[in-house]
């Protein structure tokens, strides 16, 4: 019961917000028949194990040695996961290294393109401090009254992700800074008020 209530509230909030939001994509049109054919032909040719593999994302790092990189490549070839999520907790490495690894890992999955994910809440600089721009944290953005500026920042982060081959950015967070005992959330939240 307790888990259903927050999920329902979040869904209601998203639906309310979406009612006032201009759509960026036209979802009313039918998919391109060539794209639908490709999806169907690839899916029909997949084994059950390959289909199961598509449900998983592997963890990948840019600050490990070549043996680790080979291990990730071997896992991709063997299990055919749906994607990779790049982590860089040490902030060592560069955006160039991630782009290089993205290309290498995509090449290890020639038939099924990988989703490439990362956590770039405030831009690529969140993980690559020495080689990328960091934008303001969510709490600072929550104080900005001009939504256009926040939109433009989001577009720029999205373009940077796209150039890196990242097509899933686990951001922005929907965390609420409501627990002073949890220092992890802090400025990663837009504030204390859930509205």
What is the per-residue pLDDT across 65-118, written as a single tens digit (0 to 9) for each?
999 999 999 999 999 999 999 988 767 778 899 999 999 999 999 888 999 999
The confidence band for 184, taking pLDDT boundaries of 50, 70 and 90, is confident
Asked whether 74 and 43 are in contact (CB, 8 A), the reply is no
Asked whether 128 and 88 are in contact (CB, 8 A), the reply is yes
Q: How far apart are CA 1 and CA 5, in angstroms?
A: 7
Looking at residue 47, its pLDDT comes to 93
* HSE value, Cβ hemisphere, 13 Å, CA-based, for 90: 7
The confidence band for 22, taking pLDDT boundaries of 50, 70 and 90, is low
The confidence band for 23, taking pLDDT boundaries of 50, 70 and 90, is low
Looking at residue 50, its pLDDT comes to 93
Spatial strand order of the sheet with 83-87 comes to 57-61, 83-87, 115-118, 168-169
CA dist list (Å): 85 to 38, 62, 118, 135: 25, 11, 5, 21
What percentage of the chain reaches a pLDDT higher than 90?
A: 48
pLDDT at 4 over 80: no
Averaged pLDDT score across all residues of the chain: 84
Average pLDDT (137-141) is 88
- Domains in the chain: ranges and CATH: 46-188 (3.20.20.300)
What percentage of the chain reaches a pLDDT higher than 70?
A: 85
160 contacts: CB under 8 Å, gap ≥ 6: 120, 123, 124, 132, 133
Looking at residue 65, its pLDDT comes to 93
Looking at residue 174, its pLDDT comes to 84
Asked whether 157 and 148 are in contact (CB, 8 A), the reply is no
The secondary structure of 35-56 as a DSSP string is HHHHHHHHHHH--HHHHHHTT-
Looking at residue 8, its pLDDT comes to 45
pLDDT at 24 over 60: no
Helix-strand-coil percent breakdown of the chain, rounded to 5? 45, 10, 45
Looking at residue 161, its pLDDT comes to 94
């Amino acid at each position: 019961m307790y888990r259903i209530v927050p999920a329902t509230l979040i869904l209601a909030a998203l639906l309310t917000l979406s009612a006032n939001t201009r759509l960026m994509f036209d979802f009313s049109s039918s998919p391109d028949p060539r794209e639908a054919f490709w999806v169907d032909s690839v899916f029909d040719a997949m084994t059950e194990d390959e289909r199961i593999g598509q449900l998983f994302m592997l963890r990948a790092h840019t600050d490990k040695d070549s043996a680790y990189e080979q291990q990730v490549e071997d896992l991709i070839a063997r299990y055919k996961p749906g994607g990779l999520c790049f982590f860089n907790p040490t902030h060592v490495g560069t955006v160039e290294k991630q782009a290089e690894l993205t290309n290498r890992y995509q090449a290890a999955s020639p038939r099924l393109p990988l989703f490439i994910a990362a956590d770039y809440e405030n831009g690529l600089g969140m993980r690559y401090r020495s080689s990328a721009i960091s934008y303001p944290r969510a709490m600072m953005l929550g104080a900005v009254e001009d939504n256009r500026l926040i939109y433009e920042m989001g577009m720029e982060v999205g373009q940077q992700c796209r150039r890196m081959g990242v097509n899933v950015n686990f951001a922005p967070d929907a965390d609420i800074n409501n627990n002073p005992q949890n220092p992890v959330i802090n400025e990663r939240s837009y504030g204390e008020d859930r509205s």
